[in-house]
Structure 1
Amino acid sequence: MENLKLQEEIKALKDLGQHYESLLKMAGVELRDFSNEDLSLLSKSAQLYADLGVHELELNYLNELYYGLQKDRIENNLIIAQQQTDLQRIKTSIDETSKDVAVLERFKSAAEKQLIPDGDVQLQRSNQLATKQALLDRQRALEIPKDFNIESIMQKVHSLERKE
């Protein structure tokens, strides 16, 4: 059954081939007139016709193919233009970010130069605490007499200032 279908299909293809050869002869074209490159192109186009199930080439199909290819080309050009715009925007953003990074790096290096090491900070703190403690100890050790009158001392200072 399947063999019979294949034989019928082969016979139909042979008939179609003979029909095309007769059309070529009517146009005055023989297959031996074509170069090897032309014959390979014809072979490829015949294979495409067979794969696509196309038996006749109509102008409408060619127009559809042409306009489809033109549409694809225009869409591809549009996509390329959009991607180039996006790429330029990204490059600009990268340049701006690089400038910001350079500013931050300069700030960081300046801050690191001004930064006091932890050991020095601890030393300053301990010195300040020791000085504070020594002053507090001296203040506690200082005995102020009970009859000490600060107002009379201030009056004497003012009177000395007036005399000068």
Structure 2
Amino acid sequence: MQNLKIQEEVNSLMGLGQHYDEQLKLASLELGDFSDDDLALLDKCVQYYSLLHIHDFNLNYLRDFYYAKKRECIENRQTAVQQRVELQRILSSIDEVTRDVVMLERFKGAAEERLIPDIVVVQRNSQQLATKQALLDRQKTLTIPKDFNIESVIDKVDSLEQR
């Protein structure tokens, strides 16, 4: 009984093989026309068909698979292009920031060159305060006569300047 089932299955597979050979001949193809790589792919395909118990070969499935792979390839290219554009944008912003950093470093260097140390500032302030105090002290000791008229002195200076 078991042998009978196996014999029937072998006969049906042989008939299916002959059917496919006839289909290939109708398309003017012979198995010898395929390269070794193509034959290896066909062998792999046959193995998958036998493992999955698929006996009807439908070209629509192959076309669907091809178009799915083609779509995936196009999407991958599109993603790569988008990533290249994004990378270019990031690189240009990095260049811009680098230029800004260089400019700020030059500014910082110039500012540090012009910077006056704290000790010098304190010394100048103390000198100015001492000079101010000395002038105030001289002003206090200066006695101005009561009959002094500043306007007459200004008029005399103006007349001297005009000559």
Amino acid aligned to 2:152: S
Q: 1:72 to 1:39 in 2, by over 3 A?
A: closer
Matched, 1:70 2:37: no
DSSP 3-state at the match of 2:147: coil
**Alignment match, 1:91:** 91
Aligned to 1:7: none
Return 5+ residue gaps in structure 2 as ranges.
22-35
The answer to whether structure 1 residue 132 and structure 2 residue 132 are counterparts is: yes
Q: Distance in 2 between matches of 1:24 and 1:58?
A: 14
TM-score, reference length from structure 2: 0.65
Give the counterpart letter for 2:154 in structure 1: M
**Residues of 2 paired with 1:16 and 1:87: CA distance?**
63
SS of residue in 2 equivalent to 1:99: helix
Say if 1:118 and 1:48 are closer, same or farther in 2 by CA, change over 3 A. Answer: farther
Q: Please give the secondary structure, in 2, of the residue aligned with 1:119.
A: helix
Amino acid at match of 2:107: F
In 1: Cα distance, 2:144 partner to 2:125 partner: 31
Deviation at 1:110, TM superposition (A): 1.1
Residue in structure 1 matched with residue 54 of structure 2 by the alignment: 55
Counterpart of 1:58 in structure 2: which amino acid?
N
Q: Tell me by how many angstroms 1:79 deviates.
A: 0.8
Alpha-carbon distance between aligned partners in 1 of 2:82 and 2:8, rounded to the nearest angstrom: 49
* Matched letter for residue 14 of structure 2: S
Q: Given residue 71 of structure 1, which amino acid in structure 2 is its aligned partner?
A: R
Which sections of structure 1, spanning at least 5 residues, go unmatched? 1-11, 28-34
When normalised by structure 1's length, the TM-score is: 0.65
CA drift at 1:63: 0.8
**Structure 1 pair 64–44 and aligned structure 2 pair: CA distance change class (3 A):** closer
Moved more, 99-108 or 18-27: 18-27
Q: Deviations over 1:66-99 (max 9, x none)?
A: 0000000001101111111111122122122212
Distance (whole Å) between structure 2 residues aligned to residue 20 and residue 140 of structure 1:
134
Alignment of 1:3-152 (within 5 A): 18=10, 22=14, 26=18, 42=43, 46=47, 50=51, 53=52, 55-56=54-55, 57-152=57-152
Identical counterparts, % of pairs:
46
- Counterpart secondary structure, 1:100: helix
- Secondary structure at the counterpart of residue 148 of structure 1: coil
What displacement does 1:147 show? Answer: 2.2
